[in-house]
Amino acid sequence: MDIEKIRKDFPVVDDYIYFDSACLSLKPQPVIDAVQKYYSEFPVCEGKRSAHTLSTRLTKEIKKGRKSVKDLLNASEIDEIAFTKNTTEAINTVARGLPLKKGDKVLTTDKEHNSNLVPWIKMREKREIIYEQVSTDKDGQLDLEELKEKMDESVKIVSMVHTSNLDGTTTPASEVADIAHENDAYFMLDGAQSVPHKPVDVKDIGVDFLAFSVHKMLGPTGVGVLYGRKKLLEELDPLIYGGGGVRSTRYDEATLQDSPAKFEAGLQNFASLAAVKPAVDYIKEIGLENIEEHEIKLNTIATEELKEKVKIIGPEDPEKRSGIFNFQLEELGCHEITLLMDEENILLRGGKQCVHSWYSFHGLEGGNRASFYLYNTEEEVKKFVEVIRSLVF
């Protein structure tokens, strides 16, 4: 990886040390250009509503983006890729779209992002489903034996984080898929922190549904993805109904479009959708294996320099935490640390990082998460280390 060449494509990196990519990645110039191109050259509705020249042009760009995602995941068909506005919407689409009823059980881990926790809590309230968590150990590793013990005929779906935004650990997804399918349950992954950082092959894993956000992988804001096996998407009810998601209507009936159109009702974020392909192409050109290796190298520097000074959330081994370095200092609260780092133009994520349940269960105020990505450098990490050392009394 030619880091200096890469950094020239990101307008913000010279002004700040940006370590908050787990929340939202920065955008390279080709993605920025694609968004601007939409507004300056074809700022119209796509082809489900119009068939004129500009509409057709936009439709082609969106189709290119959908195909690029399909190829990235090694999905079987382009129709298995539905665009949403984020990971949260994709997960909610599955949670609300499955015909879950009273007594049906859903299993997750005990460190899910709120987006894979709150939907199931609300489904428990509304449909009286059973919702349970499977434990992870002090190093964030999933207890597969506990998962097997909790599997029974009432379990309809196992929905788990792939790579955790809390500690960077990765769920053994293929093993979980096998366990779920052996018990006739579906398996869904929250891939928000895995798809942008490492190769994810939906066929190799055997996942039924995969949710992630393009805006965490160099894409523009407001674009997520729901992957689902075609047969399952055909059976799944949409989260939102309306124009573009129906083939025809009468006063007393509506015929829905096939997937993915039925999941994309209403006017979409066309400017961002037109920039999906440049984002995916940028990542593919660098190579996800190279990105993962680079992140671990940066994490190793931070870990080796700071492991005696801070409390690391998750395993000490940086290879098990990918690009996530989440830590605490006894001397300072997490929000105070974030503000002090900001004074040095180092941008972190302080607080509970949308994993409130895990922090609350463990009686912790929160953490300070540095999340590394392809545009970060060793020099930036060393500066980060220097500032943290200055805060340790």
Any idea which residues carry the catalytic annotation?
Answer: 354
Question: Using CA atoms, how far apart are residues 143 and 290, in angstroms rounded to an integer?
Answer: 30
Which of 112, 131, 120, 134 shows the shortest CA–CA distance to 356?
112
What would the DSSP string read from start to end of 345-371? TEE-EEE-TT-HHHHHHTT---EEEEE
Q: Give the C-alpha distances (Å, rounded to integers) separating 328 from 243, 307, 311, 333, 338.
A: 48, 11, 5, 8, 11
Does residue 37 contact residue 274 with C-beta atoms inside 8 Å? yes
DSSP 191-247: -TTTTTTS---HHHHT-SEEEEEGGGTTPPTT-EEEEE-HHHHHHSPPSS-STTSEE
DSSP 8-state class, residue 253:
E
CA distances in angstroms from 224 to 10, 211, 270, listed in the order given: 21, 7, 13
**Maximum CA pair distance of the chain?**
71
d(CA 275, CA 248): 30
* Number of residues assigned to the chain: 393
**DSSP readout, 305-323?**
HHTTTSEESS-S-GGGSTT
Nearest to 131 by CA among 167, 95, 163, 86: 95
Residue pair 279/195 in contact by the 8 Å Cβ criterion: no
